[in-house]
Amino acid sequence: MTHRGQIDGVTPLVDMRDICISFGGVQAVDHVSVDLFPGEVVGLLGHNGAGKSTLIKVLSGAYQADTGEILINGEKADIRTPRDARRYNIETIYQTLALADNLDAASNLFLGRELVTPLGFVDDDRMEAETRKILKRLNPNFQKFHAPVKALSGGQRQSVAIARAVYFNARILIMDEPTAALGVKETQMVGELIEQLKAEGIGIFLISHDIRDVMALCDRVSVMKNGKLVGTVRVGDVTEDDILGMIILGKQPAAPFQ
């Protein structure tokens, strides 16, 4: 399999090499290597239990690999906790979004990292101004700045979660089923958010079960089955059926690997 970095001389944002992790004698991830470049979306696909979530939890610091290494921007990284991952500008946006339902967008954006005035008071005005600035960049149609986030649509909630990650300098985003339970219009909004993040050079690992989503949003797809990597393909080189064959049969398509 050819990695892009060997083709065009670009250093990957993330290079996970030969990752292995087992639980109670079961090999959840078995010698898997994947990479991610600036401004790229790589989909991670596979049945439940294929190992994709476990692999990505190694990157997010939730699990530690038994063997293998992670390089961030070409340098060996030591990621043992989620805090370590944040130090490497890796942020995870979970399907549940982990937002405080009763608080507005600005309060969620700065939750636990509130801006304060020189006298030590919470600076609500500045937090709102910063929230307006970043959401205008990511989602120009966002209007409900004073509503509790539980009153927002799924796509708007996703905007707040993404804005929080990007405001605090995420360069590598892990998105777990970002369009699950969203309607067509909301899914389109998330697609537009992802395009904006790509334009800013952010790299995204996208975990999804929806092949149409992956075909629409991803540049490359890495498919896992039974803990092993079936292969990594460029989305433009394959069909939905090719990817289904990789997921279900563990069969590599005839298209050239990238």
147 and 27 within one domain:
no
Q: Which domain does 246 fall in, by range?
A: 1-89+171-179+190-252
Q: Is 146 helix (H, G, I), strand (E, B) or coil?
A: coil
34 and 152 within one domain:
no
Q: Return the beta strands (E) in the chain as ranges.
A: 14-23, 26-36, 41-45, 67-72, 75-77, 90-93, 172-176, 203-207, 220-225, 228-234
- Confidence check: pLDDT of 61 > 70: yes
Q: Which of 136-145, 193-202, 246-255 has the highest mean pLDDT?
A: 193-202
Rounded distance between C-alpha atoms, residue 90 and residue 85, angstroms: 5
Q: What is the mean pLDDT of the chain?
A: 88
**36 — pLDDT class (breaks 50, 70, 90):** very high
Look up the pTM and report it: 0.87
175 and 75 within one domain:
yes
Q: What is the pLDDT of residue 97?
A: 66
**Which residues, 6 or more positions from 104, have their beta carbon under 8 angstroms from its beta carbon?**
145, 146, 147, 148, 149
Half-sphere exposure of residue 135, counting CA atoms within 13 Å on the CB side?
23
Q: What is the pLDDT of residue 2?
A: 43
Tokens 């549940």 locate to: 96
36 and 101 within one domain:
no
149 and 175 within one domain:
no
3-class secondary structure for 59-98?
Answer: HHCCCCCCEEEEEECCEEECCCCHHHHHHCCEEEECCCCC
Tokens 């395009």 locate to: 195
6 and 74 within one domain:
yes
Average pLDDT for 241-258: 80
194 and 66 within one domain:
yes
81 and 9 within one domain:
yes
Beta strands 14-23 and 26-36: pairing type? antiparallel
Rounded distance between C-alpha atoms, residue 122 and residue 198, angstroms: 33
Q: Does some domain include residue 184?
A: no
- Confidence check: pLDDT of 95 > 70: no
57 and 128 within one domain:
no
Q: Does some domain include residue 226?
A: yes
- Confidence check: pLDDT of 4 > 60: no
**258 — pLDDT class (breaks 50, 70, 90):** very low
Pick from 108, 137, 169: which residue ends a domain? 169
Rounded distance between C-alpha atoms, residue 127 and residue 146, angstroms: 12
Q: Does some domain include residue 103?
A: yes
**Is the CB of residue 135 less than 8 Å from the CB of residue 142?**
yes
Q: How many Cβ atoms sit within 10 Å of the Cβ of residue 161?
A: 23
* Residue 149, phi then psi, degrees to nearest 5: -65, -20
Task: Return the higher-pLDDT residue of 206 and 258.
Answer: 206
pLDDT digits (tens, 9 = 90+) for 154-168: 888 888 988 988 888
Number of structural domains, the chain? 2
Average pLDDT for 20-32: 93
Half-sphere exposure of residue 213, counting CA atoms within 13 Å on the CB side?
26
